[in-house]
Amino acid sequence: MSITQEMRRLGALAALLAAAGPGAMAATTVQSWITSGDRSQLLTPQADARFSDAMVKMAADTPVIVIDPATRYQRIAGFGAAITDASAYLIQQRMSAPQRESLLRELFGRGEVKDAGQGIGLSFTRLTIGASDFSRSHYSFDDMPPGQTDPQLKHFSIDAQRDTVLPTVKAALAINPQLKVMASPWSAPGWMKSGDSLIQGTLRPEAFDVYARYLNRYVDAMKREGVTISALTLQNEPHFEPGDYPGMRVDPAKRAAFIGGHLGPLLARANPGTAIFDWDHNWDEPDSPATVLADPRAARYVSGIAWHCYAGKSDVQGKLHDKFPAKDTWFTECSGGRWSPDWAKNLQYFTKTLVIDTTRGWARGVLFWNLALDENDSPHLGGCKDCRGVVTIDSRSGAVSRNVEYYALAHASRFVLPGAVRIGSSEEANGIANVAFRNPDGSIALLVANGAAQARTFAVKVGKQSFRYALPASSVATLRWKMPE
């Protein structure tokens, strides 16, 4: 072909594109994945949609989600679940090496995984500093016989987790070096408490200094193992004293005194990269963390507030953030269980309430409770007898079942990358809830939940471009695109 012929061909092509309209030369492709309430689709890819400059024709009651990438909110650290003693025990001691490798790559990786499709990229996890109810024994990292103490922490050791939690979190970090690891104690060692027991009681004021050193020693020990603890809470659920597993009541005045006078200054000197989150408890008592943040000495060291789901409503996150906008928000625990058997309702709750609403309420990270439990909702010692893991591992065969929590997490974790920023998007309308993020690579991820009993059609609008999308009843979807520069 001569140069003249080639120029004529390109000119004709340009004329055709111009005639097709201004959107034709830069139509943006939208990828999407759906999980449906009837389980017929589980993170299933859909046909691509496309933005158009033309006006999308819609019924008057069609919801329109307006995306505003210029309006930016919090930066996202990640989504995930806790590597409890129970989860780590099952992964390390009830799975074969190939099963374990496949599961961890599926949970924490993003590449293709044999027999499991794409990894879901979990990038946030929580460890327990000592035992929780999901442990096979009750222990701290410095237990002493009744009546004896160890103020110099000569008996401190993390060996109780050396064969289970440590290899699990280290393997997860090898797969995903961006994994953010936080940790929470369920109790101080019994000899530091009013009842000389891991069960119930409160931290004695004269033990403030040694308990701060205990927590700092844990951070040091994990660092030597190659695990960076990015954040601590001083107590899981500090307003709850369970009767059959480790727990400890720590009221807000005591938490403020401990953080402001002991733990905060020590970490600032010895481990300045480890943040302190206050509260780590339910939505129904926002005055408790507010009291700690109102204490100027404690507030200096508290970087954020951690929330659980078991009482109250998620809107308190945003209300407390409005009062203390310099402090981060985190969502650090919620569990499903046999008490709620409706899969479709659970999908909506975990996706809408625990992912969409919490991140719209400023959460930088979202954590569910046990990463894995077995077919009997175990192992556990006291506490919840019918909680459900994100996955179920058969304790006899090592086979894995993916629960509703897995899909709710995956719709965020696989597509919203660490470092993403939540961006502006319309409030919920006509039963369609949503949240939008801009990833570090410039792509936009939009998570949408349709809680209605019938399929719903909605439109998405960015600037002058828009597209229409149909979502089945009781279903959730993630939509992803990258607008041209």
Helix (H) or strand (E) holding 195: none
Neighbours of 300 (CB within 10 A): 12
Asked whether residue 6 is domain-assigned, the answer is no
pLDDT tens digits for range 213-235: 999 999 999 999 999 999 999 99
Which residue spans within 315-380 are E strands per DSSP? 328-333, 336-337, 363-370, 372-373
Total domains, the chain: 2
State the DSSP string of 130-161.
S--SSSSS---SS---TT---TT-TT---GGG
In sequence order, the 6+-apart residues with CB closer than 8 A to the CB of 121 are 108, 109, 110, 176, 413, 414, 417
Structure tokens at 417: 């990358």
Looking at residue 429, which CATH number applies to its domain?
2.60.40.1180
Q: Which domain holds residue 456?
A: 26-74+423-481
Residue 9, domain member (yes or no):
no
Provide the pLDDT for residue 161. Answer: 98
Does residue 11 belong to any structural domain of this protein?
Answer: no
Same domain, 351 and 266: yes
Task: Decide if 19 is inside a domain.
Answer: no
What CA–CA distance (Å, rounded) separates 359 from 466?
Answer: 24
Buried b (16+ CB within 10 A) or exposed e, 228-237: ebbbbbbbbb
Does residue 260 sit in the same domain as residue 211?
yes
Backbone φ and ψ for 381, nearest 5 degrees, come out as -135, 95
DSSP 8-state symbol, 249 = B
Q: For residue 181, what is the enclosing H or E element?
A: strand 180-185
Cβ distance 461 to 53 under 8 Å?
no
- The answer on 69 and 81 residing in a single domain is no
Residue 294 lies in a domain: yes
User: Do 372 and 311 belong to one domain?
Assistant: yes
- Do 248 and 397 belong to one domain? yes
Tell whether 384 is covered by a domain: yes
pLDDT of residue 18: 35
Over residues 371-391, the pLDDT tens digits come to 999 999 999 999 999 999 999
**Domain end call among 392, 415, 438:** 415
Based on the fold, state whether residues 276 and 340 are members of the same structural domain.
yes
Over residues 232-258, the pLDDT tens digits come to 999 999 999 999 999 999 999 999 999
The verdict on 175 and 210 lying in the same domain is yes
Residue 222 and residue 273 in one domain: yes
Q: Clarify whether residues 44 and 90 are in a common domain.
A: no
Write down the residue that tokens 């009997």 correspond to: 376
Cβ atoms of 411 and 354 within 8 Å: the answer is: no
What's the rounded mean pLDDT across residues 316-323? 98
Nearest CA to 276 among 321, 230, 223? 230
| Same domain membership, residue 218 and residue 169 | yes
Task: Indicate the residue among 415, 439, 469 that finishes a domain.
Answer: 415
So which residues are the catalytic ones?
Answer: 237, 333
Tell me: do 323 and 470 sit in the same domain: no
**Burial profile 381-392: b = 16 or more Cβ within 10 angstroms, e = fewer:** bbbbeebbbbbb
Domain termination residue (choose one: 395, 415, 435): 415
Q: Is residue 193 part of a domain?
A: yes
| C-alpha span between 362 and 294 (Å, rounded) | 20
Same-domain pairing of 451 and 322? no
Other CB atoms within a 10 A radius of the CB of residue 450 amount to 28
The model's pTM is 0.93
* pLDDT at residue 455, as a whole number: 96
Q: Assign 65 to helix, strand or coil.
A: strand
